[in-house]
Amino acid sequence: MAEPKTKYDRQLRIWGDQGQAALEKASICLLNCGPTGSETLKNLVLGGVGSITVIDGSRVEIEDLGNNFMLDESSVGQSKAKCVCAFLQELNDAVKAKFVEESPEALIETNPSFFSQFTLVVATQAQYVLSMIENMQKGARSYDKGKILTLRVVSFLLDLHQGSFESMGRFELVEASLLRLDRICRQANIMLICARSYGLTGLVRISLKEHTVVESKPDHFLDDLRLNNPWPELKRFAESIDLNTTDPVVHKHIPYVVVLVKIADDWAQAHSGRFPSSREEKRAFKELIKSKMIALDEDNYKEAVEASFKISAPQGISSSLHQIINDHSVEVDSTSSDFWVMVGALKEFIANEGNGEAPLEGSIPDMTSSTECYVNLQKIYQAKAEADFLAVEQRVRSILKRIGREPNSISKASIKNFCRNARKITVCRYRPIEEEFNSPSLPEMQKYLNDEDCRWLPIAIGFYILLRAVDRFAANYNRFPGIFDGELDEDIPRLKATAQAILNDLGCNGSTLMEDLTNDMCRYGGAELHAVAAFVGGVASQEAIKLITKQFVPMTGTFIFNGIDQKSQLLIL
Amino acid sequence: MAGSLTTSSGDGGNRWRDLDRLLTRPGNIVGPTFDPSPELRSELQQYVRVLVVGAGGLGCELLKDLALSGFVNLEVIDMDRIEVSNLNRQFLFRLQDVGKPKAEVAAKRVMERVKGVNIVPHFCRIEDKDLDFYNKFNIIALGLDSVEARSYINAVACTFLEYNSEDKPDEDSMKPMVDGGTEGFKGHARVIMPGVTPCFECTIWLFPPQVKFPLCTLAETPRTAAHCIEYAHLIKWDEVHGGKPFDADDPEHMQWVYSEAAKRAELFGIPGVTYSFTQGVVKNIIPAIASTNAIISAACTLEALKIASGCSKTMTNYLTYNGLEGLHTKVTEFVRDKDCLVCGPGTLLELDPSTTLQKFIELVGDHPKLQLSKASVTHRGKNLYMQAPPVLEEMTRSNLNLPLYELMDKVPKDVVHVAGTVNKDDKKTSALRKLRVVFKGIDGVTDMDTANGA
């Protein structure tokens, strides 16, 4: 067996060859390789992405060794991007690892088209801003000692001298470049993930216009069995089987799907076409199933009782699918993606051949049955799925023709896959980061913050406010709160006032932020703990994999890591 | 080593600057014992010993995370050797390491990168170590993929737990554990404070036994690819190879099962038998990815740091993680099983002072709750009878005919540890149990709460 297949065996069982091929084609760009960014890339390199490009203009300092595994003693003084890149390359020689020794801010400012070569950009916080300020403050005595430090201080003082620091505010620049990067990536259709660790908290946020998923692979999803709405072939098959057979071996090998279709039909005939809906009716229905048993060991009937709730599965499509087929993107033209062309065909199918239903999935779960009966039943479901697929395919081809595209430009396999997953397709959309910053829609936050009775503020929401507060604090004071032991006491009320101002801006006037949490935020002093970075980096890499493979559903909203009681939250903002 | 223990930053900088912010400054959302000071980290480094059980996907991450969270004295135990299929997540291993013991390579790699950390590897089974070995650790971090191994380590950690006369757990005897587990995009992280939060056994129902296919389905009515594979693996192999044990790690054996399964599938018109799927079914392969392991290990490490330093409130007590659809985390506060055989004060056995050790071992085997066969018995660290190794068995055999009361230095009541095997789900597994032995008719027994004998 080929080595890569074995190497990736445990993940191929999750995202398959297609998912792996997508990863191997992907090129990832990392901005700033502190522990959060380095850990993110580590997980992606292990998984076998095509290439990584690490962008960081800073040099390794002693402090970096306390939280970044990619760096060691020999790295001190060298380019951080180069060192991190070298370690990552060691992890997987199938990955092309590159680095650019430049500050991400400068690159965003001077060379925006640079980013269009990537599949996905991971933006993490710049640590060096923190270090620079710190170093500057103790600069006087460090100036003529440590060589590296000297260089750093000199370059920093130069910046200062040129007035860039004081006039613009170094931190505002950082925030401004993130917003600029978001605009660049959206324009070029590059996926962006922001990840940040700060003390015992952190944040992960995806930004792109739209992400569509065919293979959402949900954990629990009701089988598509159509027990209360059998199509003619299934009905005929059920009719061909006699539930009253006296042969005990045959009786206990009738698959529960057949048992349920038949008993549900009997029930509906006795109840003017309705299926069991109330609790009593559902109980009576189960009793009816049990009454047909002729021996105690009939597993098929036990399965029928357990699966009897499937009789009450709502007919027609789910509300989320309804929303998708009525989305404005369904009015397709030559610029539409394959996904939306297929959604257009799906919508037509549901309104016509489907009689209000999506194409049949075509697979059935395992159930007690004779082999022959099970295989025949499986064929009936497969045949219906195939017929539905052909109808959808025809509609896809004619839509493609109508919008001036080559009718065969979407492959049979893609359409088949789409049909098999039609009930589970998902569309994720993300607001520009700037919009979230300026006018967050805060239903969850408001709910907690404006509740007079709720004196206890959920920690995750508090952290979100405070993460924004430390940035605003930094814009005002040119450093994060709590960096210096001596100023800790002054910083706490300052941060509290800043957080309160943010709450006021958000229209959450009546709320008081949890005092203890603000104190804690000052205590962190901008620290990046390795364990927090590993968690946040883990989440960021997981989301990157979901976006690149187009499998599973990426998170929508802003993920706030809560390292205090581990009650992390996804805020819809 | 000396360098890493210094707390002053000096002009050269302080490697642990970020960690020190949390350890040196007071806070209000912290553990009850938190005593912030510049010395806290060096105390952590000097006195706290952490054992990492398992050097696989979670173990590699745990070692790295612990080493970068200020822990210096680490040991790791794992009986496995590195395989190619580990490399997509076990980032301490390289292709050229395949075949080497995981524990040894993992320890070496972390020590190479994190100066000052000391990791002692143990390339052996967890059952090979005695209680004294486990007792020297302050925290045990579990990165395992089997219920049996978790259960075993949990029982080991719980044997050290002592209860005072009011049946309250004694804090000094408590051996905290952090436990992680992953499967694909899902995982859990938990904190176990024996005697306070539920131990692994209290909530064993969280890990239901694996569902097996009925043999008659395999033999008579196969319907799925898995049925065909298990037929070839469990029935056909023995029929054809009579007596020769099947080895899942032998590619020839696996190939044989695959081709038999494929033949059967074709005969019955069943799709889906592939070589990879055959391996998955036969070896019960659990899908695993780097990101989930990173997330779960990080959560465990953070909790270990909190336990050791008190620098923040700890999680209570069970985190479930699901990254399949969006991202869901949930913290559940499970409660202890008051009757737990493992973390409770111990099963009470009232004995006649004349009961011999042999008789005692029989009683333990017949006891309805214990059913511990082939028991080895220790009292206060002294081996009264050992089933293995043969040398020890021979040395302790003469004790079998002596009264237990005498072997226990004539104390009227005390805790005795027994190790043996129990049958669970038709599988023999190693188990450790704590017994409270009380000798009838001996003074001092009256104050014992015999009603609370679970």
Q: Which of B21, B117, B274 to mutate to test the interface with A (most CBs of A within 10 A)?
A: B21
Distance CA A171, CA A192 (A): 20
Query: Do the Cβ atoms of B178 and B189 come closer than 8 Å?
Result: yes
Do A91 and B91 make contact, defined as CB atoms within 8 angstroms? yes
- Average pLDDT of the residues in A433-443: 80
Q: What does the pLDDT look like over A67-125, one tens digit per residue?
A: 999 999 999 999 999 999 999 999 999 999 999 999 999 999 999 999 999 999 999 98
Chain B residues within 8 A of A1 when measuring between CB atoms:
275
A144: pLDDT strictly greater than 50: no
pLDDT score at B290: 97
Chain B residues within 8 A of A375 when measuring between CB atoms:
223, 268-270
Q: Hey, CA dihedral for A22, A26, A31, A37, is it positive or negative? A: positive
pLDDT score at B35: 94
CATH 3.40.50.720 assigned to A3-126+171-210+526-571:
yes
A323: pLDDT strictly greater than 70: yes
* 3-class secondary structure, A479: coil
Which class for A511: exposed (0-12), middle (13-18), buried (19 or more C-beta within 10 A)? Answer: buried
Pair type for strands A191-198 and A120-124: parallel
- Average pLDDT of the residues in A262-275: 93
pLDDT score at B447: 45
- Annotate A116-170 with DSSP letters as a single string: GG-SEEEEE--HHHHHHHHHHHTHHHHTTSSHHHHHHHHHHHHHHHTTHHHHH-H
Q: Where are the alpha helices (DSSP H) in A406-508?
A: 412-420, 433-438, 443-449, 459-477, 488-505
Q: Which of A172-186, A466-480, B59-73, B382-396 has the lowest mean pLDDT?
A: A172-186
Which of A459, A467, A540, A416 has the alpha carbon at shortest distance from A36?
A: A540
Angle between helices A459-477 and A515-524 (to 10 degrees): 50
pLDDT score at A139: 42
Pair of tokens at residue A463: 């952290």
* B-proximal residues of A, 465-484, CB under 8 Å: 482
A163: pLDDT strictly greater than 70: no
Distance CA B312, CA B353 (A): 50
Read off the pLDDT band of A520 (50, 70, 90). Answer: very high
Residue keyed to tokens 């957080």: A499
Q: Which amino acid is at A499?
A: A
Query: Which is the CATH superfamily of the domain at B2-208+289-332?
Result: NAD(P)-binding Rossmann-like Domain (3.40.50.720)
Which of B414, B344, B380, B348 has the alpha carbon at shortest distance from B168?
A: B344
Pair of tokens at residue B434: 């704590």
Distance CA A154, CA A164 (A): 14
pLDDT score at B166: 81
In the sheet that holds B413-424, the strands lie side by side as B347-351, B427-439, B413-424, B373-379, B382-385
CATH 1.10.10.520 assigned to B215-282:
yes
| Option in A10, A141, A515 nearest B85 (CB) | A10
Q: Which of A131-140, A445-454, A563-572 has the lowest mean pLDDT?
A: A131-140
A383: pLDDT strictly greater than 70: yes
A511: pLDDT strictly greater than 80: no
Q: What does the pLDDT look like over A403-424, one tens digit per residue?
A: 999 999 999 999 999 999 999 9
Query: Do the Cβ atoms of B21 and A523 come closer than 8 Å?
Result: yes
CA angle B194–B199–B201, rounded 5-degree value: 140
pLDDT score at B11: 44
How far off is chain B from A500, nearest CA to CA, in Å?
20
Chain A residues within 8 A of B329 when measuring between CB atoms:
566-569
How far off is chain A from B78, nearest CA to CA, in Å?
20
Which of B26 and A458 is assigned the larger pLDDT?
A: B26
Complex ipTM, two decimals?
Answer: 0.91
Q: What CATH code would you report for B347-439?
A: 3.10.290.20
A129: pLDDT strictly greater than 70: no
Chain A residues within 8 A of B12 when measuring between CB atoms:
62, 146
pLDDT score at A345: 98
* A-proximal residues of B, 296-325, CB under 8 Å: 297-299, 301-303, 305, 312-313, 315-316, 319, 322-325
| DSSP secondary structure code for residue B325 in this structure | B
pLDDT score at A450: 61
| pLDDT string in tens for chain B (454-residue length) | 333 444 444 445 699 999 999 999 999 899 999 999 989 999 999 999 999 999 999 999 999 999 999 999 999 999 999 999 999 999 999 999 999 999 999 999 999 999 999 999 999 999 999 999 999 999 999 999 999 999 999 999 999 998 887 888 999 999 999 999 999 999 999 999 999 999 999 999 898 888 889 999 999 999 999 999 999 999 999 999 988 999 999 999 999 999 999 999 999 999 999 999 999 999 999 999 999 999 999 999 999 999 999 999 999 999 999 999 999 999 999 999 988 888 988 888 899 999 999 999 999 999 888 888 999 999 887 899 999 888 889 999 999 999 999 999 888 888 898 999 988 777 788 888 888 898 988 765 444 444 343 3
Q: Where are the domains of chain B?
A: 2-208+289-332, 215-282, 347-439
pLDDT score at B3: 39
Q: Which of A75, A197, A371, A569 to mutate to test the interface with B (most CBs of B within 10 A)?
A: A371
Read off the pLDDT band of A314 (50, 70, 90). Answer: confident
pLDDT score at B388: 85
Q: What does the pLDDT look like over A9-64, one tens digit per residue?
A: 999 999 999 999 999 999 999 999 999 999 999 999 999 999 999 999 999 999 99
Q: Where are the domains of chain A?
A: 3-126+171-210+526-571, 214-425, 437-524
Query: Do the Cβ atoms of B361 and B377 come closer than 8 Å?
Result: yes
Distance CA B234, CA A466 (A): 59
CA B184 to chain centroid: 20
* A-proximal residues of B, 264-303, CB under 8 Å: 268-270, 275-276, 279-280, 285-295, 297-299, 301-303
Query: Do the Cβ atoms of A564 and A200 come closer than 8 Å?
Result: yes
Provide, rounded to the nearest whole percent, the portion of chain A with pLDDT above 90.
Answer: 76
A270: pLDDT strictly greater than 50: yes
Q: Which of B9, B17, B331 to mutate to test the interface with A (most CBs of A within 10 A)?
A: B17
* 3-class secondary structure, B184: coil
Provide, rounded to the nearest whole percent, the portion of chain A with pLDDT above 70.
Answer: 87
Which of A507 and B103 is assigned the larger pLDDT?
A: B103
Q: Which residues partner with A194 through β-bridges?
A: A123, A205
Residues of B labelled as active-site residues = 216
How far off is chain A from B295, nearest CA to CA, in Å?
4
Which of A502 and B329 is assigned the larger pLDDT?
A: B329
Pair of tokens at residue A115: 């980013």
Q: Please name the residues in contact with B22: beta carbons below 8 A apart, sequence gap of 6 or more.
A: A199, A200, A523, A524, A527, A529, B309, B311, B312
Query: Do the Cβ atoms of B228 and B222 come closer than 8 Å?
Result: yes
pLDDT score at A510: 52
Q: What does the pLDDT look like over A62-81, one tens digit per residue?
A: 999 999 999 999 999 999 99
CA angle A99–A102–A106, rounded 5-degree value: 135
Q: Please name the residues in contact with B158: beta carbons below 8 A apart, sequence gap of 6 or more.
A: B175, B194, B199, B201, B342, B343, B434
